[in-house]
Amino acid sequence: MPIFAYKCQSCSHTFEMLVHNSTVPECPKCQHTTLEKLLTGFAVGGTGSGMDFSGDEGGCGSCGDPRGPGACSMN
């Protein structure tokens, strides 16, 4: 069940709601059902073998490989 963000067209109240397939969402402030669905961000969580964007260049640099840290097979 996704969580959607809405803006009420009647009172301009903005809110989020967990919506079931058959549920018609209504504004918790004024109970109107004329709502605008808002674009929201999302998060991806969990563990796995996804890409690492931490900025770590890898490698310890202790093997002396002239190509620099992360170039040798000791990584």
* pLDDT over 60 (residue 62): yes
Beta bridge partners of residue 21, listed in sequence order? none
Instruction: Return d(Cα 13, Cα 29) in angstroms, integer.
Output: 7
User: Within a domain: residue 34?
Assistant: yes
User: Within a domain: residue 11?
Assistant: yes
* pLDDT over 80 (residue 1): no
Question: What does pTM read for this prediction?
Answer: 0.51
Contact 18, 6 (CB under 8 A): no
User: Within a domain: residue 18?
Assistant: yes
For residue range 6-26, list pLDDT tens digits in order: 999 999 999 998 888 888 899
For residue range 22-45, list pLDDT tens digits in order: 888 999 999 999 999 998 766 666
User: Within a domain: residue 14?
Assistant: yes
User: Within a domain: residue 75?
Assistant: no
Could you give the number of structural domains in the chain? 1
User: Within a domain: residue 53?
Assistant: no
User: Within a domain: residue 54?
Assistant: no
pLDDT at 26: 93
Domain range for 11 is: 3-38
